[in-house]
Amino acid sequence: MSEELIDAGQYAEGDRVPEVLRRLAAVQDAAEVQPLGLRDGLACFNYLYRVITEQVQRDYEAGTFADGDFITRLDVAFANRYLAAVDAKLEQSPAPWRCLLELRSDRHISPLAFAVVGVSAHVNFDLAFAVVETGIEMGRLSLTDHDDYQHLNAIFFREMRRLRQHFEDTEERRFERALGLTTLENLLGDALVVIARYLAWEKAKRLFAAGHSAVADARAETATARVVGGINHMLLVFDRTVRYPASVLACLGRRP
**54 within a domain of the structure (yes/no):** yes
What pLDDT, in 10s, does the model give residues 225-239? 999 999 999 999 998
pLDDT of residue 192: 77
DSSP 95-143: HHHHHHHHHTT-TTS-HHHHHHHHHHIIIIIIHHHHHHHHHHHHT---H
pTM of the model as a whole:
0.89
Instruction: Assess if residue 150 is contained within a domain.
Output: yes
Q: Which domain holds residue 189?
A: 8-240
- Measure the CA–CA gap between 108 and 231, rounded to whole angstroms: 19
Residue 202: what are its φ and ψ, rounded to 5°? -65, -40
- 194 φ, ψ to 5°? -60, -45
Residue 159 one-letter amino acid: E
The pLDDT tens digits of the residues spanning 76-90 come to: 999 999 999 999 999
CA distance 85 to 214: 19
- When computed from its CA atoms, the radius of gyration of the chain, rounded to whole angstroms, is 18
Which amino acid is residue 16, in one-letter code? Answer: R
Residue type present at position 248: V
Q: What residue type is 79 in one-letter code?
A: A
pLDDT digits (tens, 9 = 90+) for 120-157: 999 999 999 999 999 999 999 999 999 999 998 888 87
Give the count of domains, the chain: 1
Q: Is 256 within the bounds of a domain?
A: no
1 in any annotated domain: no
Evaluate whether residue 213 is within a structural domain.
yes
Q: Is 253 part of any domain? A: no
* pLDDT, tens only, 184-200: 355 455 677 888 999 99
What's the pLDDT at 155? Answer: 84
Contact in structure between 135 and 204 (CB atoms under 8 Å): yes
Residue 247 lies inside a defined structural domain of this protein: no
Under 8 Å between Cβ of 56 and 155? yes
Kindly state whether residue 250 falls inside one of the protein's structural domains: no
